[in-house]
Amino acid sequence: MRRRILFLSTIVIPFALLALVLLVLGRVQDSRSEGLLPEMAPAIEVVVDEPVLAPLYDPGCADAWERIPTNRGPYAYLTLNVNDPALSTNSGTWSPDLPQDGFYQVEAYIPAHAPIEWCTTNIGIILSDTVEARYEIHHVGGVTNKNARQRPLANQWLDLGLYPFKAGKAGYVRLTDLNSEVNFTSTISFSAMRFTFIDTIKTRYFPVISTSKPTATPSPGVQVSNKPGFDACILPSISKMQTWWDASPYWIYGLYLGGSSYATGCTKADSAWVSAVRQQGWSFIPTWVGPQAPCSVFPNKMSSDPAAAYQQGRSEAALAMTAAANVGLINASHGTVLYYDLEGFGSNASSECRLAASSFVNGWTGRLRELGQRAGVYGSGCASHIRDWAALPNVPDYIWAASWYTNTYDAQASVFGVLCLDNSLWASHQRIRQYAGGHKEVWGSQSNTIDSNIADGEVAIPGVTLAAARPAAGLPSQPLIQDMGWLSADQGWTLAGGRLLWTDDGGSTWQDQTPQENARVSLATAFFIHVDEGWALPFPARPDEYRAYHTTDGGQTWLGQSLPLPPGEWQPRQVTFLDAANGWVTYRLMTSVLFSRGVMLKTEDGGKTWTAHDLPIGEPVFFDSPLSGWTAGGAAGDEFYTTADGGLTWQPADSNSVSMPAGSQLDPGKLLAANLPGQVDRLAFPSAQGGWAVTVEGDCQGEKASLEFACRQVSTLWKTVDGGSNWLPVRLPASGK
């Protein structure tokens, strides 16, 4: 019996086409605003109307193809899904002839069609297309497998992502009839495929290549890990590493090996430390910190000439390999993976600077491969222009991408979702993500100042074998307290889980006063001048969107305003006011834990206007007058600077010469006297007898090598009415309440 088509009426609304055009234009505009597109990016669109089918379509039923008309003109083809590779027979391939190298948005057209009564006996009516079409995108960076929902699209383009392609017909898209649905329960649609040019690939010095995959068999000294990790400026002691191995969610340590840009004051490991920590179970991210991009703010720079930068990259690779061998990561029987720390040099960096940096990465990667090692590179998705590296002859095997969105451990962190980096690049277990910059965490009553990472990429493995385990899933708890401030013993606020909570009765009840702009924003820090007037800084949603919120009615309403930060990727650290007119906002540049650079915005008119000034370190500032102030911290935590001109200039100083505000994190007096359990993170005494404190402690349950192992960071708000002799815990409302 010949198959029958049961037609259903469909209505095509012209506004849908208009919406699609606006969406594409908006996407291009957004990309331009992020510095990803040239100002005059050419509009190039290549459409392959029909795929090459295997087997070829035949009007008979035996080929398992159904041909249907489309509203575009060319035919589309349907086949039935199967979930067993042995039953898979049908596939289609789209091979565009692309006019130039570049990044292309790939989209599949899904035509509208009625339910189909299939011709094969006992199949019956197939109601709709699949929700799991398995596309293979073959591009410059290798092969990306993309599962996408065809249902319920009808006469619409399905976005498959952004990928780098070489000019000509080297790249293609393939789709088969295989998925995980029950056999013969859905149709898989094969119609047009569209390739839209989005961005150029910088090829003036090096051409694109055909693959970025590492060699098939890893060295014995490395393995792909999908576990949490941390890196630190100050090397933890062997005993502290043992405590954190036993009591923290972390499995991997970012092992900085040295280099000409290695931060002064940070400490490095020797072979004895590495050997001892390996035996505890730790894996490593071995990292070399050499010259930075020629247009960066860092003093030690690579050449701006691409050819010279390429040779420098090769030289740095040899130095890094020697350092890795000196600490025992490389010997005659096995090699390792080495990451280069290429800090951000600006999302609006010139093409010449980007080319030099990419050439350096090309030399680094190529030389390590010649030496039998694996190559990785650290950088921020936007400011380090990681996407450029996908176009190199020697594409790094792995990337370590900095993209911060929190300031604490996150059990749900993902290597994907990095700003300015499409999920299709380095997608096959080739990523580590640094999701939280320098912050303090406490596990097993031991604190470290760290960056937090999640891995799904290659690391150097320890010399012991452990049972398989998954990343810690986290335990339920109230949100972590990020900040707090008190105007009296009864009136004050806390910032927890990105929400601003206010109390008028000493913590008995709380009101959520978080700013709303389209949706509730996630706050990083806040400050109240008095009970009615306050300021708050959110975590930035985009690398070029920095805002402050101001309230004059106690948080009932907030007015948002843009802040004039210089180019770069910044994370908010502090907002503070000396009085209603004079205030300061500080941001830290997104860097590895080895660096600390900041910017301060100053207002003298209550926030109407702001001026930007460089900070020597990315830390909070403290002013006791509009002109006199200080800042402390830095990568190693031992830097101290003062200003006598309102932050225009800063000079190194002795911290003992400055009177610290009571309750500040550098004021140890009350911290030592506080009769509190756990590690004291914040302390405030608005009166002699009335005080508030925040303690932080890590909590893990289960054996680390078991599937039941899970961890959380717990913060507790405490209140005292007798000068700190006794403390009572104060409960905050649960998230969403």
The CATH number that applies at residue 15 is 2.60.120.260
Of 602, 545, 593, the closest CA to residue 574 belongs to 602
Q: Measured between alpha carbons, how far is 707 from 467 in angstroms, rounded to an integer?
A: 9
572 shares its domain with 692 = no
Tally the domains of the chain. 4
Judge whether 280 lies within some domain.
Answer: yes
Q: Which helix (H) or strand (E) holds 602?
A: strand 598-603
Rounded average pLDDT over 377-386: 94
Task: State in Å, rounded, how far the first CA of the chain is from the last one.
Answer: 61
pLDDT value for 201: 54
Q: What is the mean pLDDT of the chain?
A: 84
Last residue of a domain, one of 658, 691, 707: 658
Rounded average pLDDT over 651-678: 58
pLDDT value for 467: 45
What would the two tokens of residue 53 be? 């089918």
pLDDT value for 696: 87
Q: E strands along 335-430, which residues?
A: 337-341, 374-380, 398-406
Rounded average pLDDT over 59-87: 90
Label residue 670 by pLDDT band (50, 70, 90): very low
653 shares its domain with 673 = no
pLDDT value for 475: 58
Which residue, chain included where needed, has tokens 């996150």? Answer: 410
Of 681, 686, 689, the closest CA to residue 725 belongs to 689
Which 3-state string (H, E, C) describes 426-493? CCCCCEEEEEEEEEEEEECCEEEEEEEEEEEEEEECCCCCCCCCCCCCCCCCCCCEEEEEECCCCCEE
pLDDT value for 47: 97
651 shares its domain with 682 = no
Which 3-state string (H, E, C) describes 642-675? EECCCCCCCEECCHHHCCCCCCCCCCHHHHHHCC
- 268's CB contacts (< 8 A; 6+ apart) are 235, 256, 257, 258, 262
Residue burial 206-226, b: 16+ Cβ < 10 Å; e: rest: bebbeebebeeebbebbebbe
Neighbours of 191 (CB within 10 A): 27
Label residue 16 by pLDDT band (50, 70, 90): very low
Last residue of a domain, one of 639, 658, 677: 658
Judge whether 216 lies within some domain.
Answer: no
Q: Which residue has the higher pLDDT, 603 or 32?
A: 603
Please report, rounded to a whole number, the percentage of residues in the chain having pLDDT higher than 70.
Answer: 86
Label residue 286 by pLDDT band (50, 70, 90): very high
CA atoms within 13 A on the CB side of 610: 22
Q: Measured between alpha carbons, how far is 44 from 364 in angstroms, rounded to an integer?
A: 33
523 shares its domain with 573 = yes
pLDDT value for 28: 34
Of 495, 494, 491, the closest CA to residue 524 belongs to 495
Rounded average pLDDT over 668-694: 74
The CATH number that applies at residue 653 is 2.130.10.10
440 shares its domain with 548 = no
Q: Would you say 573 and 591 are in contact if contact means Cβ atoms under 8 Å apart? A: no
Rounded average pLDDT over 68-90: 94
State which residues form the domain around 124.
Answer: 4-199
> Comparing 51-60, 174-183, 671-680, which segment has the lowest mean pLDDT?
671-680
453 shares its domain with 582 = no
Of 535, 527, 458, 430, the closest CA to residue 486 belongs to 527
90 shares its domain with 172 = yes
The CATH number that applies at residue 366 is 3.20.20.80
102 shares its domain with 177 = yes
Judge whether 488 lies within some domain.
Answer: yes
> Comparing 126-135, 155-164, 169-178, 226-235, which segment has the lowest mean pLDDT?
155-164
pLDDT, tens only, 25-41: 333 333 333 333 333 34
Residue burial 48-71, b: 16+ Cβ < 10 Å; e: rest: bbbbebeeebeeeeebbbbebebe
Q: Measured between alpha carbons, how far is 220 from 70 in angstroms, rounded to an integer?
A: 54
pLDDT value for 331: 78
Q: Would you say 358 and 340 are in contact if contact means Cβ atoms under 8 Å apart? A: no
Q: Would you say 450 and 439 are in contact if contact means Cβ atoms under 8 Å apart? A: yes
pLDDT value for 315: 94
pLDDT value for 620: 92
280 shares its domain with 404 = yes
Q: Quick check: 218 pLDDT over 70?
A: no
pLDDT, tens only, 169-202: 999 999 999 998 999 999 999 999 999 997 765 4
pLDDT value for 698: 87
Label residue 704 by pLDDT band (50, 70, 90): confident
pLDDT value for 114: 92
681 shares its domain with 569 = no
H-type alpha helices, 122-162:
none
Write the DSSP symbol of residue 391: G
497 shares its domain with 585 = no
Which residue, chain included where needed, has tokens 């007015």? Answer: 559
Rounded average pLDDT over 587-599: 90
Judge whether 150 lies within some domain.
Answer: yes
Label residue 471 by pLDDT band (50, 70, 90): low
Q: Which residue has the higher pLDDT, 664 or 132?
A: 132
Task: For residue 519, list its beta bridge partners.
Answer: 517
Label residue 478 by pLDDT band (50, 70, 90): low
Q: Would you say 395 and 209 are in contact if contact means Cβ atoms under 8 Å apart? A: yes
Judge whether 100 lies within some domain.
Answer: yes
Of 392, 488, 501, 526, the closest CA to residue 691 belongs to 488
pLDDT, tens only, 310-348: 999 999 999 999 999 999 998 777 889 999 999 999 888
Q: Measured between alpha carbons, how far is 462 from 229 in angstroms, rounded to an integer?
A: 14
What would the two tokens of residue 316 be? 């740095």
pLDDT value for 50: 96
Write the DSSP symbol of residue 312: H
484 shares its domain with 539 = no
pLDDT value for 685: 87
Last residue of a domain, one of 625, 641, 658: 658
pLDDT, tens only, 491-546: 999 999 899 999 999 999 999 999 988 777 899 999 999 999 999 999 987 777 89
Q: Name the pairing type of β-strands 287-288 and 374-380.
A: unpaired
Judge whether 573 lies within some domain.
Answer: yes
Of 207, 594, 619, the closest CA to residue 395 belongs to 207
Judge whether 689 lies within some domain.
Answer: yes
Q: Measured between alpha carbons, how far is 137 from 208 in angstroms, rounded to an integer?
A: 16
Judge whether 553 lies within some domain.
Answer: yes
Q: Measured between alpha carbons, how far is 424 from 691 in angstroms, rounded to an integer?
A: 51
pLDDT value for 614: 92
